[in-house]
A = this chain, B = another copy of it.
Amino acid sequence: MSEKLNQLKEILGEVSDINHAASVLGWDQQVNMPRGGAEARGQHLATLGKIAHQKATSDEVGKLLADLKQEFAGSDSDDAALVRVAARDFDKATRLPSEFVAEQAVVTTASFEAWAEAKKKSDFSIFLPHLEKVMGLMHKYVSYFPPADHPYDILLDDYEPGMKTIEVKDIFNKVRPQQVKLIKAIRESKQVKADFLHKKYAEKKVWDFSEVIISKFGYDFSRGRQDKAAHPFETSFSVNDVRITNRYKAENPLETLFSGMHEAGHAMYEQGVNPLYDRTPLANGVSSAVHESQSRMWENLVGRSLPFWEYFFPELKKMFPSQLDGLSAKTFYKAVNKVEPSLIRVEADEATYNLHIMLRLELEIGMLDGSIALKDLPEIWNSKMREYVGITPPDDAHGVLQDIHWSWALFGYFPTYALGNLVSAQLWERINKDIRGLDDQIRKGQFDSLLNWLREKVHVYGRKHDPQDLIQKVTGSKIDSAPYVRYLTKKYNDIYGL
């Protein structure tokens, strides 16, 4: 093996170690840290971040990459992919002047605090001046990159490498009218019963049941763990230590089961990456959308399916006999799929979720190209909510102020949530061609051929292939909305008798 490649791997291995150490600190911060520890923890993370950045953007790395790009040009080996991905990361990391990175930290810290206050008081005017500064950052950010077809392409590329704004818009334009039509039809149908989901279900039992489910799925607890945190998330410290968090809310106790499946979906992806990629830029999932396709598949296509509950409902009923007395698996299945157009994205059902995202994408593009004045955001938000979802937010806390993303300068991320839904259904159609009788397997609580398929076709590759190439390779086409529409239509026809 090339001596230069070894040198590059050694340096990037150390960068990976430092970043993983920072991830452990971040996990601890959410899961364990006493409140007194916050200030020092911020300092620890700042120092680790600075050192990792210095190492990753050193002239030495730049020179090694320049030579190696030539050496590996035209090859499709793992090493060639490593060099290509590392070069892309290096290019992005070196474009940002350190003053910009420092300014961003200052602006977003203040902006996050203002957003939290604004949301609490439901007063957009508190957030507005900070959002203006954040948008200033985003324009600056875009200016460090070569001009793209659309400036939003540059933001999107950080989460969905290679994806273009025009592609996303095309996809969303196809799917939106169909989802809007679907929820109208559902609203006019006989509603399903779901009140029993909001009875009292003891926390410990729900938690244990969520671990029964994800163990069955194949989430490997010898290489992971599930802890309580304010927000469910997945984080990985190596292919052999991939952890998830979850929460329990008394007003919606069984949500724990679905967020457990969702985060386990992310985690099984990370646990399935080729272990040879550990400590290299090829480790980890390839993009936000592909990651989300895995979490949404386990949560929705598996976890909200009838076969799944035909297997698990009797067990759940044994655990909660009084709460579920007299109910069938089918009734339970319908309840966990109840469509209820709602104000809050994170509580949205499968039929409406993407519409929340589309609204955000349109706003983000408008904010970036200047066609939307920031002060008009609340009004535009509310009118689009009326148009797409059919309801109007009573205040900004339940409208334009609901998400943390903009306060953190996370622009370009939202669309990947909806793309993930589309990809999950696209993969699902392929899977059901490749695995005969998958429904029957699920009905017996067997998930190994499903997980093995995902491992072999998706997980193992880590970041080796670009996301759209990977999807094309596996399903025969790039991201396509048709399978998701077919999936939703079939499911809700069944449930609501449309």
Give me the interface of A with B, judged by CB distance under 8 Å.
Answer: 13-14, 17-18, 20-22, 24-25, 28, 32-37, 39-41, 43-44, 46-48, 50-51, 220-225, 227, 237-241, 243, 278-279
Chain A interface main SS type: helix
When distances are taken between beta carbons in the complex, the residues of chain B under 8 Å from A48 are 17-18, 21
Known: A37-B238, A51-B51, A238-B37. A44 touches B32 (CB 8 A): no
Known: A44-B237, A51-B51. A25 touches B21 (CB 8 A): yes
Instruction: Pick the residue among B25, B223, B241 that contacts A24 (CB under 8 A).
Output: B25
Instruction: Pick the residue among B13, B39, B46, B278 that contacts A240 (CB under 8 A).
Output: B39
Q: Name 18 interchain pairs, CB-CB below 8 A, sorted by A.
A: A13-B43, A14-B51, A17-B46, A17-B47, A18-B47, A21-B21, A21-B44, A21-B47, A24-B44, A28-B28, A34-B221, A34-B224, A34-B225, A34-B241, A36-B223, A36-B241, A40-B279, A41-B238
CB distance from A439 to the nearest CB of B (A): 32
Number of copies: 2
Complex CA distance for A158 and B18, rounded to whole angstroms: 28
Q: Can you name the residue of chain B whose Cβ is closest to the Cβ of A32?
A: B225
7 tightest Cβ-Cβ pairs between the two chains A and B: A37-B241, A40-B238, A36-B223, A36-B240, A17-B47, A17-B44, A14-B47
| A240:B37 contact, CB within 8 angstroms | yes
Q: Can you name the residue of chain B whose Cβ is closest to the Cβ of A37?
A: B241
| A33:B241 contact, CB within 8 angstroms | yes
CB distance from A263 to the nearest CB of B (A): 15
Complex CA distance for A289 and B212, rounded to whole angstroms: 48
| A24:B35 contact, CB within 8 angstroms | no
Complex CA distance for A392 and B21, rounded to whole angstroms: 47
When distances are taken between beta carbons in the complex, the residues of chain B under 8 Å from A221 are 34
| B44:A222 contact, CB within 8 angstroms | no
Please give 7 more A-B residue pairs, beta carbons under 8 A apart, in addition to A34-B222, A40-B279: A34-B221, A34-B224, A37-B240, A39-B238, A40-B238, A41-B238, A44-B237
